[in-house]
Structure 1
Amino acid sequence: MQLKAAIDEFILYIQVEKNYSTHTVVSYEYDLLQFLTFLRDHDCSTDLASITKTHVRRFIQHQLRTHKQKPRSMNRKISSFKSFTKYCIQEKYLIHDFMSGIETPKTDDKFPVYMTLSDLQQLFRSLEQDDSTLSKRNEIMFKLLAVTGMRRSELVSLTWSQLDFSNQTIRIYGKGKKERLLPLHPLLIPLLSSYKHGIF
């Protein structure tokens, strides 16, 4: 089986059966097609059964050195490849897993820096005193992040229909389209309500 055909089958599988997010599907497809292009550019066989660990290691080396790919991004690609080969073995497209034994490059992990309560209070005071055009929107956004703990991507895609003022909850659609309910702090309700109706 050709690598391109296997990639197409895998992408259809994670999109339809696994119901992965559009972002994840696009990322996996991009990573796999990039590997396919690398094999073609270096006159390597694109037959699935012909791919070896050496091909993968050369691809990783090429990405790190030639394209200055960061280890963190490379780790995502390796994760994509491992999911792909696992699927191929499951579907009996592959007998031997060419990703077995492939390790991820070391990264210089930095610990996240958290705001102290004092920092947060200072930020809120600054936002509350701001009278620029987008000040109220910014205040709501930062307070929602701080109070609910939702992800940035979840905040950006938030709609009014997800807010339930009477039950004081927010319905969040997270990774993999999973839903969860978060409490809506009572102090935010009048702020959100006034913003919704343009009273500020």
Structure 2
Amino acid sequence: MNTKDAFRDYLQLEKKYSPHTVNAYLNDLIYFETFNKLHFNQENVEQVNYSQIRNWIVSLVDANLSNVSVNRKIASLKAFYKFLLKIKQIDVSPLLKHKALKTPKILQIPFSEKEVLDVLVHMQSPVGFEEIRNKLIIDLFYTTGMRRTELIHIKISNVNLSGHTIKVLGKRNKERILPVLPIITEQFSLYVRERLCLESIVDSEYFFLTKKGLKLNDSFVYRLINTYFSTVSEKVKKSPHILRHTFATHLLNNGADLNSVKELLGHSSLASTQIYTHNSLSELKKVYQETHPRNKK
């Protein structure tokens, strides 16, 4: 087995990364390998020095890649050299002293409660398979905070209607069970009846399907959310991730504690969940000003 194949196995089996992440890491490695062959006539990326990597970074910046994209590609290389250290193929990583490029902090603006309500009211009487499915997807994102890939990979066996729960497979193959509101359970039953009436079902193990009976994909789900929320919101980003963001923000605004939100989102640490707290600041200020004795006249 060559080093690249061994690296793939390491990412899949030990790190338990998703197929999408594994492919991204390997593609970045191949791209860097090609760059070195072309500019340094060197085929073995295991023997490169930081100067060569820096030349690659400069070429990426010159190609107008954002600092975020460049940092992601460097993360792929870091993982590769960390793997080589692990199997004792190198003694020191050429990226040991590398510092990530500075990136602007992008404020993820959640939907307001009114915007979400406007979409759901517009969809309150869905007719037919696609409308019923679409409403259930939006409701699930908003009431569970699950990730797009988690929703896509829900299987029939993951749904427990009587127990009002759903099991999802998160990052690094970590399973978690999410509670489902009774009102959403009713929609599940409606969707299941419509699903049974599809002319053909190809990907039968998956819960959410297209009208052709195929498993959903990332682009399909993104377009679905973007289409519905474009009618009620002028926010720049209208995506499944923003709905996940909205779920967390609205829970915090209404008194949920950070640890509970962390568990629902499937975060491994509170640090990941804390990014949502800034959106609750306006609500906290309002409560603070209304309740603090020193602010009472």
TM norm structure 2: 0.61
Q: Which residue of 1 aligns with 2:18?
A: 21
The alignment status of 1:8 with 2:1, answered yes or no, reads: no
Q: Can you give the 5+ residue segments of structure 1 that lack an aligned partner in the other structure?
A: none
Deviation, 1:46, is 3.2
Which of 170, 187, 192 is 2:188 aligned to?
A: 192
User: When the two structures are aligned, how many residues end up with a matched partner?
Assistant: 195
**Among 58, 61, 70, the residue aligned to 2:58:** 61
Pair 1:147 & 2:143 matched: yes
Spell out, residue by residue over 1:90-137, the C-alpha distance to the aligned partner (whole angstroms, 9 max, x if none): 222112210112122222331111112222211110111555762221
Q: Deviations along 1:128-183, whole A, 9 cap, x unmatched?
A: 15557622211111100000110112112223321101111000011122110000
Residues 28-57 of structure 1, C-alpha deviations (whole Å, 9 max, x = no match): 111111110000011342335631111111
- Partner deviation per Cα, 1:10-36 (whole Å, 9 max, x = no partner): 222222333322112111111111110
- Structure 2: state its 5+ residue gaps: 196-297
User: For the residues of structure 2 that align with 1:149 and 1:77, how far apart are their CA atoms?
Assistant: 28
1:165 counterpart residue number: 161
| Residue in structure 1 matching 2:38, options 37, 41, 47 | 41
Percent of pairs with identical residues: 29
Given candidates 67, 74, 91, the residue that maps to 2:87 is 91
1:65-87 deviation digits (Å, cap 9, x = unpaired): 13x22221211111111111112
Distance 1:104 1:138, change over 3 A: same
Letter in 1 for 2:67: P
Where 2:194 maps in the other structure, the secondary structure is: coil
Q: TM-score, normalised by structure 1?
A: 0.88
**Structure 1 residues 96-135: aligned runs within 5 Å:** 96-129=92-125, 131=127, 134-135=130-131
Mark the CA change 1:12 to 1:174 in structure 2 (over 3 Å): closer, same or farther.
Answer: same
**Change beyond 3 A, Cα 1:163–1:133:** closer
Q: What is residue 244 of structure 2 aligned with on the other side? A: none
Contact kept in structure 1, 2:129 and 2:191, CA below 8 Å: no
Among 21, 24, 30, the residue aligned to 2:27? 30
2-structure distance, mates of 1:113, 1:130: 28
Structure-to-structure mapping, 1:61-80, within 5 angstroms: 61-66=58-63, 68-80=64-76
Which residue in 2 is equivalent to 1:51? 48
Change (3 A) 1:46 1:104: same
Tell me if structure 2 keeps the 8 A contact 1:86–1:97: yes
